[in-house]
């Protein structure tokens, strides 16, 4: 059943999450790193949760110039510079947990 | 697309509530590794395990990175060695355990299960040699785990084997006296053992299983506890529904990881074992889930009912999330591995009698329980017999993993470190069961075994 879904919808999509203290330039920096590596942004939603900045970004890695591990590393470094926590995970981790 | 809340929920489950894939276990059939020359057989075993599992750890780590969810253990289970070794000329199966241990080290897994025998109805030559080899095998190897199934609903309880296992447990403790009886932590006695269980120490690759398979064990007591806390004060229907929904989400994650691992390794996917398996870490405790339901301390009156609700709701949620749920799915209640259970035992709220009652409704049994080192083998056998009787009559799996801690008394503590944790030594009854367990023979199967 799941095999079929995986076969039908080959997904190169990732979800990038940013959580931390709000400041100017977070979205610009994250989208900058994605653009440099040819990762296409599909959707961004962002809010302030209990004083914390929280952003969820869906992106397509189809034509990416780095693999997910490499991208995670770059985002991680960026996050340390900005003082926020940036994660990138394969979309399936969210798709299977929340969608039947 | 995803709502912000859904994404944050997943992230919170992993980062704050210790949601993890507890284990991916590769089951490997060793049925083609028999040889009349035991050295050749051991070589075949080593070669087969190291070739099939060479990428297991690497693949697990890859999946961890991709999905951002930790996979704590990568392990291997093999065909019960009593079946593989029986046709060899060996009169001691320790070399087989050594071959397993070497293979486990080579591929980098921390435990390998399957130094096992199934003797619920009686013992063959191979079963007898295997059981006799357990104390030396477990005390001289590092990563090998052993299990013996001594009872089933269909066959009854093999009391000769039960008595023998009481002695084996004692011997295992004595041989590892310098490590608080560590060998006992690697040995489980079962009733109605499942053949696709990915959890150690009871994992082995059953004879009805395919050549090679990936089974996954998921765990998330912290996630369930947080969900339970959110419905504080609500009625039982709401409570059960909340646990069910949470279990569903956890199981989906397990199914995803299992399928991904199986695909990458090119072997079939077996089952997801949805279990709430605790770790000694704070916030990762089954006892704390029960306490979040409204019990002041795990072990007090009401604990069995709370555990029954939890176990059932977990199974119901899991059954919807995956078509291949198996193993031991439900709640594990190992004493030494659960911070809340340890606390409850230390303050006297949790006793051996209450633990036994709780095993009637949990997924396994008396697990990782330390008792005084001078407990006679007959008493240990009687504890095993009681637990086997619960499993046999109720058509469920039960198990005993008990540690008569050498030189320790009630109130002392045993330390195993890591995932095995530590446990206070708790009292057993002082009255003897010697005359009972030494009768010999088999306790007949109950009437509910006549289902055909």
ipTM of the complex: 0.78
Taking an 8 Å cut-off on Cβ atoms, the answer to whether A72 and B323 are in contact is: no
Residue A6 lies in a domain: no
What pLDDT is stored for residue A10 in this prediction? 55
Cα B337 vs. chain centroid, distance in angstroms?
12
pLDDT band at B16 (very low <50, low <70, confident <90, very high): confident
Residue A3 lies in a domain: no
* Residue A59 belongs to domain spanning: 13-97
Contact, B404 vs B366, CB < 8 A?
no
Q: Which two tokens stand for residue B85?
A: 């070794």
Q: List CB contacts of B173: < 8 A, sequence separation 6 or more.
A: B181, B183, B184, B373, B403, B404, B405, B406
Predicted confidence (pLDDT) at residue A2 exceeds the cutoff of 60: no
b/e per residue, A29-43, with b = 16+ CB within 10 A? bbbebbeebebeeee
b/e per residue, B184-195, with b = 16+ CB within 10 A? bbbbbbbbbbbb
Can you tell me the mean pLDDT for B38-66?
94
Taking an 8 Å cut-off on Cβ atoms, the answer to whether A69 and B65 are in contact is: yes
Nearest to B62 by CA among A69, A72, A63: A69
- Between the two ends of chain A, the Cα-to-Cα distance in Å is 11
Q: Which residues in B lie closer than 8 A to residue A72 (C-beta atoms)?
A: 65
Contact, B101 vs B142, CB < 8 A?
yes
Distance between B249 CA and the closest CA of chain A, angstroms: 5
Q: Could you give the CA distance from residue A38 to residue A63 in angstroms, rounded to a whole number?
A: 6
Contact, B199 vs B273, CB < 8 A?
yes
Predicted confidence (pLDDT) at residue A1 exceeds the cutoff of 50: no
What pLDDT is stored for residue B9 in this prediction? 84
Identity of the residue in B66, B249, B323 whose CB atom sits nearest the CB atom of A90: B66
Residue A24 lies in a domain: yes
Contact, B115 vs B145, CB < 8 A?
yes
What pLDDT is stored for residue B8 in this prediction? 82
Predicted confidence (pLDDT) at residue B15 exceeds the cutoff of 90: no
Q: Could you give the CA distance from residue B205 to residue B14 in angstroms, rounded to a whole number?
A: 30
Predicted confidence (pLDDT) at residue B21 exceeds the cutoff of 50: yes
Contact, B211 vs B268, CB < 8 A?
no
b/e per residue, B327-352, with b = 16+ CB within 10 A? bbbbbbbbbbbbbbbbbbbeeebbeb
Contact, B180 vs B408, CB < 8 A?
yes
Segments of B32-180 assigned E as strands:
71-78, 112-118, 144-152, 156-158
What are the pLDDT digits (tens) for B392-436? 999 999 999 999 999 999 999 999 888 888 999 999 999 999 999
Parallel, antiparallel, or unpaired for β B20-28 and B212-219?
antiparallel
The contacts found for B209-212 with CB under 8 angstroms, 24 or more apart, are: B209/B27, B209/B29, B209/B270, B210/B29, B210/B268, B210/B270, B211/B28, B211/B29, B212/B26, B212/B27, B212/B28, B212/B29, B212/B52, B212/B267, B212/B268
Taking an 8 Å cut-off on Cβ atoms, the answer to whether A94 and B2 are in contact is: yes
Residue A62 lies in a domain: yes
Who has greater pLDDT, B150 or B72? B150
What are the pLDDT digits (tens) for B171-199? 999 999 999 999 999 999 999 999 999 99
Taking an 8 Å cut-off on Cβ atoms, the answer to whether A56 and B249 are in contact is: no
pLDDT band at B449 (very low <50, low <70, confident <90, very high): confident
Q: Could you give the CA distance from residue B149 to residue B118 in angstroms, rounded to a whole number?
A: 5
Predicted confidence (pLDDT) at residue A6 exceeds the cutoff of 70: no
Residue A90 lies in a domain: yes
Whole-number Cα distances in Å, B351 to B190, B255, B299, B346: 21, 36, 7, 9
Q: Could you give the CA distance from residue B437 to residue B434 in angstroms, rounded to a whole number?
A: 5
DSSP label at residue B444: P
Q: Could you give the CA distance from residue B135 to residue B187 in angstroms, rounded to a whole number?
A: 9
Residue A1 lies in a domain: no
Taking an 8 Å cut-off on Cβ atoms, the answer to whether B4 and A54 are in contact is: yes
Predicted confidence (pLDDT) at residue A7 exceeds the cutoff of 70: no
- What sign has the CA pseudo-torsion B150, B388, B401, B282? positive
Average pLDDT, chain B: 93
CATH code assigned at A30: 3.30.70.260
Q: Which residues in A lie closer than 8 A to residue B65 (C-beta atoms)?
A: 68-69, 72
Taking an 8 Å cut-off on Cβ atoms, the answer to whether A94 and B10 are in contact is: yes
Predicted confidence (pLDDT) at residue B363 exceeds the cutoff of 90: no
Length of chain B: 452
Measured CB to CB, residues of chain B less than 8 Å from chain A are 1-2, 4, 6-11, 65-69, 249, 252-253, 255-256, 259-260, 263, 323
Bridge partners of B273, per DSSP, are B217
What pLDDT is stored for residue A9 in this prediction? 54
Who has greater pLDDT, A82 or B165? B165
Residue A8 lies in a domain: no
Residue A93 lies in a domain: yes
- Percent of residues, chain B, with pLDDT higher than 90: 80
The number of domains in chain A is 1
What are the pLDDT digits (tens) for A33-91? 999 999 999 989 888 877 788 899 999 999 999 988 899 999 999 999 988 989 898 98
Nearest to B181 by CA among B407, B449, B437, B451: B407
pTM attached to this predicted model: 0.90
Identity of the residue in A1, A19, A96 whose CB atom sits nearest the CB atom of B323: A1
Q: Which two tokens stand for residue B392?
A: 């046999």
What pLDDT is stored for residue A98 in this prediction? 80
Range with the lowest mean pLDDT among B86-95, B196-205, B212-221, B274-283? B274-283
Whole-number Cα distances in Å, B144 to B117, B165, B399, B446: 14, 18, 18, 34
Range with the lowest mean pLDDT among A16-25, B4-13, B284-293? B4-13
> How many contacts (CB atoms, under 8 Å) link A and B?
70
DSSP label at residue B334: B
Q: Is B211 left (phi over 0), alpha (psi -120 to 50) or beta?
A: alpha
């Amino acid at each position: 059943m799941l095999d079929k879904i995986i076969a039908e919808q080959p997904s190169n999509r990732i979800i990038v999450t940013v959580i931390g203290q709000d400041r100017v330039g977070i979205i610009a920096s994250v989208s900058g790193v994605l653009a440099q590596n040819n990762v296409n942004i599909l959707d961004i939603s962002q809010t302030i949760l209990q004083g914390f900045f929280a952003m969820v970004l869906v992106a397509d890695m189809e034509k990416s110039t780095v693999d997910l591990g490499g991208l995670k590393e770059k985002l991680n470094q960026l996050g340390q510079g900005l003082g926020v926590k940036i994660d990138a995970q394969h979309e399936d981790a969210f798709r299977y947990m929340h969608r039947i | 697309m995803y709502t912000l809340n859904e994404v944050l929920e997943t992230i919170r489950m992993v980062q704050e509530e210790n949601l993890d894939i507890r284990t991916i276990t590769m089951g490997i059939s060793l049925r083609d590794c028999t040889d009349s020359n035991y050295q050749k057989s051991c070589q075949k075993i080593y070669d087969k395990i190291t070739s099939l599992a060479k990428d297991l750890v690497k693949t697990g780590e890859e999946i961890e990175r991709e999905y951002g969810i930790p996979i704590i253990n990568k392990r291997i289970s093999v065909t019960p060695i009593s079946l593989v070794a029986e046709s060899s000329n060996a009169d001691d199966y320790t070399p087989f355990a050594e071959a397993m241990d070497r293979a486990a080290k080579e591929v980098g897994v921390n435990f390998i299960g399957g130094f096992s025998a199934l003797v619920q109805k009686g013992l063959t030559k191979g079963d007898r040699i295997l059981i006799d080899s357990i104390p030396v095998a477990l005390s001289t190897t590092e990563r090998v785990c052993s299990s013996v199934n001594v009872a089933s609903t269909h066959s009854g309880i093999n009391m000769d084997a039960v008595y023998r296992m009481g002695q084996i447990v004692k011997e295992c403790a004595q041989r590892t006296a310098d490590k608080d009886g560590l060998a006992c932590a690697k040995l489980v006695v079962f009733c109605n053992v499942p053949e696709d269980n990915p959890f150690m120490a009871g994992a082995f690759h059953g004879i009805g299983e395919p050549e090679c398979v990936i089974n996954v064990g998921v765990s998330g007591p912290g996630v369930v506890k947080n969900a339970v806390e959110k419905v504080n004060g609500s009625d039982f229907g709401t409570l059960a529904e909340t646990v069910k929904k949470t279990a569903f989400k956890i199981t989906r994650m397990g199914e995803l990881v299992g399928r991904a691992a199986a695909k990458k390794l090119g072997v079939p996917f077996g089952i997801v074992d949805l279990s709430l398996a605790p770790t000694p870490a704070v916030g990762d405790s089954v006892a704390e889930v029960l306490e979040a339901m409204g019990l002041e301390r795990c072990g007090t009156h009401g604990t069995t009912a709370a555990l029954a609700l939890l176990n059932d709701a977990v199974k119901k949620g899991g059954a919807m999330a995956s078509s291949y749920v198996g193993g031991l799915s439900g709640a594990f209640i190992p004493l030494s591995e659960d911070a809340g259970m340890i606390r409850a035992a230390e303050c006297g709220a949790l006793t051996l009698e209450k633990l036994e009652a709780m095993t009637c409704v949990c997924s396994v049994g008396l697990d990782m329980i330390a008792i005084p080192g001078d407990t006679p083998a007959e008493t240990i056998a009687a504890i095993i017999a009681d637990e086997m009787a619960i499993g046999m009559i109720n058509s469920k799996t039960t198990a005993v993993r008990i540690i008569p801690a050498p030189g320790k008394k009630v109130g002392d503590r045993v330390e195993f470190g890591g995932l095995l944790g530590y446990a206070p030594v708790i009292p057993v009854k002082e009255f003897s069961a010697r005359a009972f367990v030494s009768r010999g023979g088999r306790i007949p199967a109950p009437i509910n075994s006549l289902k055909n």
